[in-house]
């Protein structure tokens, strides 16, 4: 353990869209860059678990809107997360990190099944654990899977990497006057209906006192800054005093 680090074990949630140009597909250079940012904190001795979405290939809710059965669409989305996880594993191992992919749906030829105690042991041994296939259940997002795994693995914080540097009261890509929050309580985030994370994931974090930081992973050094306790992104927790 490194004494000057604020967090020793983290759950990092990446959207699938972060892996591809214009949010679609997989860009090898982008994946290598993300792996490099992760290596910076892994080399400090931080225990890292990851959940990666599949929206760059398939979005279950969108597919269901076209007439595909929602459960079927969600299972296809789970497979998309496995593909993203294997690509990320390859990039990370080429940079010297030892990784394990664990899936909520068993597929022994490509990955281990998710077993909580085995995942914890991998983390203790310094391996990065990439948790794929969501929670293994339809109707639940990978945000909810990330919240669940963070609690199961006793992570100290859930880090949600997005395209922007925190939570805003409106889409900063469309509204230049959108206001950024440095801190938010779970209840305020839920009441505002913020789209940065779904309500099931937020409620699970709230009920289990799992703090969340939303930040921009493409900002060089942001992940390391958070690990060292520097202010970066937006913190969502139960210890925030909201203005009266």
- Within 10 Å of residue 27's Cβ, how many Cβ atoms? 15
190 or 129, higher pLDDT: 129
C-beta separation of 81 from 134 below 8 A: yes
At the top level of CATH, which class does the domain 9-237 belong to?
alpha beta
Per-residue pLDDT at 93 exceeds 90: yes
Per-residue pLDDT at 244 exceeds 70: no
The enclosing H or E element of 123 equals helix 116-124
Q: Is residue 140 part of an annotated ligand binding site? A: yes
Q: What is the pTM of this model?
A: 0.93
Per domain, the residue ranges of the chain are 9-237
Q: Is residue 134 part of an annotated ligand binding site? A: no
Whole-number Cα distances in Å, 127 to 13, 28, 236: 17, 22, 27
Residue-level pLDDT at 64? 82
Residue-level pLDDT at 3? 58
Residue-level pLDDT at 110? 95
Q: Is residue 200 part of an annotated ligand binding site? A: no
Question: Across the chain, what does the average pLDDT equal?
Answer: 92
Q: Is residue 139 part of an annotated ligand binding site? A: yes
Please give the Cα distance from 213 to 132 (Å, whole number). Answer: 21
Q: Is residue 126 part of an annotated ligand binding site? A: no
Residue-level pLDDT at 36? 96
Q: Is residue 23 part of an annotated ligand binding site? A: no
pLDDT in tens, 133-160: 999 999 999 999 999 999 999 999 999 9
Please give the backbone phi and psi of residue 101, each rounded to the nearest 5 degrees, phi first.
-95, 130
Whole-number Cα distances in Å, 84 to 54, 117, 132, 170: 7, 24, 8, 29
């Amino acid at each position: 353990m490194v004494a000057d680090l604020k967090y020793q074990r983290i759950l990092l949630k990446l959207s699938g869209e972060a892996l591809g140009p214009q949010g679609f597909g997989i860009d090898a250079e982008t994946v290598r860059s993300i792996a490099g940012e992760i290596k910076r904190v892994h080399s400090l001795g931080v225990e890292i678990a990851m959940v990666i979405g599949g929206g760059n290939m398939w979005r279950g809710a969108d597919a269901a809107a076209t007439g595909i059965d929602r459960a079927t669409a969600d299972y296809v989305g789970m497979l998309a997360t496995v593909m993203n996880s294997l690509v990320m594993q390859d990039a990370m191992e080429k940079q010297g990190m030892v990784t394990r992919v664990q899936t909520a749906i068993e597929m022994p030829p490509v990955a281990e099944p998710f077993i909580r105690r085995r995942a914890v042991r991998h983390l203790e041994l310094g391996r990065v654990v990439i948790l794929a296939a969501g929670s293994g259940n339809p109707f639940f997002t990978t945000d909810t899977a990330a919240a669940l795994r963070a609690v199961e693995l006793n992570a100290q914080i859930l880090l949600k990497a997005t395209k922007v540097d925190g939570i805003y009261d409106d889409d900063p890509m469309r509204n230049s006057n959108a206001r950024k929050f440095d801190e938010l309580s779970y209840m305020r985030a839920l009441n505002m209906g913020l789209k940065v994370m779904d309500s099931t994931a937020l409620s699970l974090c709230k009920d289990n006192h799992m703090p969340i930081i939303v930040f921009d992973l493409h900002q060089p050094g942001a992940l390391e800054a958070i690990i060292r306790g520097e202010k970066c992104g937006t913190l969502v927790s139960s210890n925030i005093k909201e203005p009266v």
